[in-house]
Amino acid sequence: MSPDASRDPTNDLAFDAEQLRAKYDGLAEDSEWGEHPNHSMEEWQTEVHCKITRVGYWDWVETKLKLADDKNNEDPVLADAEEEEIAELQADDPGNQGA
**Domain limits of the chain?**
3-92
- Whole-number Å distance between alpha carbons of 73 and 96: 30
Task: Answer yes or no: pTM beyond 0.85.
Answer: no
Model pLDDT, residue 1: 39
CA 60 vs CA 1, 18, 35, 36, 81: distances in Å: 27, 11, 12, 11, 30
94 residue type, one letter: P
List, for the chain, all residue ranges whose pLDDT scores fall below the cut of 50: 1-5, 99
- Say what the pLDDT of residue 26 is: 86
Quote the pLDDT of residue 2.
Answer: 40
Give the whole-angstrom CA distance, residue 60 versus residue 57: 5
Give me the pLDDT at residue 28, please.
Answer: 84
